[in-house]
Amino acid sequence: MDDVFKRLDDIRDDLTALYEDLHAHPELSFQEHRTAAEVARRLGELGLEVTTGVGGTGVVGVLRNGDGPTVLLRADFDALPVQEQTGLDYASTQRATASDGSDVPVMHACGHDMHVTCLLGALDLLVTARSRWSGTVVAVFQPAEEIGAGARAMLDDGLLERFPRPDVCLGQHVFPFQSGFVGMMSGPSMSAADGLKITMFGRGGHGSQPQNAVDPVVMASATVLRLQTVVSREVAGDDTAVVTVGSIRAGTKENIIPDQAELLVNIRSFDERVRERVLAAVHRIVRAEAVASGAEREPEFEQLTSFPMLVNDPGATTRTAGALRAALGDDAVVDLPPAMASEDVGLFGAEAGVPTCYWFFGGTDPAAFQSAQAADEVAQRIPANHSPHFAPEREPTLTTGVKALTAATLEWLG
């Protein structure tokens, strides 16, 4: 592996420049045209077969190298509607039009720019080391992970029929722990997630005459508080669920009672039985609060997102972890508990009927992480994914991500 990794010394500066460029030019889900074009250009320069427009803005690169297994490698490349506050020289100042027509800031607040860079780096190493492996690599650069729609869009566009069918699906995600380390999970690894938009209807009126109105602000506020009892009072202590109200919108002026309020609700779970129970409780509570407030119209529910639970195949995880330990060192690969975060990467393996192995690699400055850990203040000091302050350290994060993806791929390609 040391001979394979020597190539990194030649391409590290270029990869760093690519990462900074992607970070400075983020794009929202299904709007990743600039990113897709750059990915396609680089895949072509590496000599891969390149197909663009898969599932909208997705890009697929195929690297064939004789007979052998087929490994699917996946990186996502969409960004989030977040105003960046990192203060970096290459911080994003981009804005875009969201799906609802609003003008929003855009930031790579979840590290997808790092994912793309690492996969392109790993492909470069694999091309250079063709004499060491045999088989096929299918590199999937996926749009719209943040809204849970990109993997399904690529599959619906014939990903498994148009390109070599994989024997295993591999991927990775940068996370706010110490850079240089990789975290593995086996079995149920990332939660299912449901995103709901709930509209509650009142009757508008003058702020001085609440008796003549049905106030949806009060109705929605009571609903938010009541929803906090779902997990604490309706989910068993040995089960896991999260209910979060991430947005509440109502009204335009302080002396006008509006006629409706909107809640955006996120639900996480690891068990289908628990998921169904929580969803039923949310619907029941919303409807009951509307009745209690005297609403004259039933609330409306819209499913915004739906992520499946990610299950890492135990055998594939054990095999891949062994390869990562050999490449990075035994101490650099650690076991992690299941995460309440969600991912749609599992759809590729599930649809193909093959194992999936998905791991995390650290993106936080080692000294900063160790200091926060010693003070028991990791949550307070270390920005997490989706934070406006989240930005992986370029090194050793990039090197670790490239090495991990390369080593895992070579393990499966013999």
Tokens 């590729």 identify what position?
Answer: 348
Could you say which of 78, 289, 343, 393 is catalytic? 78
Beta carbons of 50 and 138 less than 8 angstroms apart: no
Q: Is 203 helix (H, G, I), strand (E, B) or coil?
A: strand
- Verify whether residue 145 is a known catalytic residue: yes
**Cα 378 to Cα 356: distance, rounded to the nearest angstrom:** 30
**Cα 71 to Cα 136: distance, rounded to the nearest angstrom:** 6
**Cα 398 to Cα 400: distance, rounded to the nearest angstrom:** 5
**Cα 400 to Cα 397: distance, rounded to the nearest angstrom:** 5
**Cα 186 to Cα 73: distance, rounded to the nearest angstrom:** 18
- Residue 101's alpha-carbon distances to 98, 205, 266, 388, in angstroms, are 5, 27, 22, 22
**Cα 38 to Cα 59: distance, rounded to the nearest angstrom:** 10
Could you say which of 32, 76, 113, 145 is catalytic? 145
Closest CA to 149 of 344, 386, 342: 344
Burial 383-407 (b: 16+ CB within 10 A, else e): bebebbebbbbbebbbbbbbbbbbb
Tokens 């992970």 identify what position?
Answer: 145
Give the residue numbers marked as catalytic. 78, 145
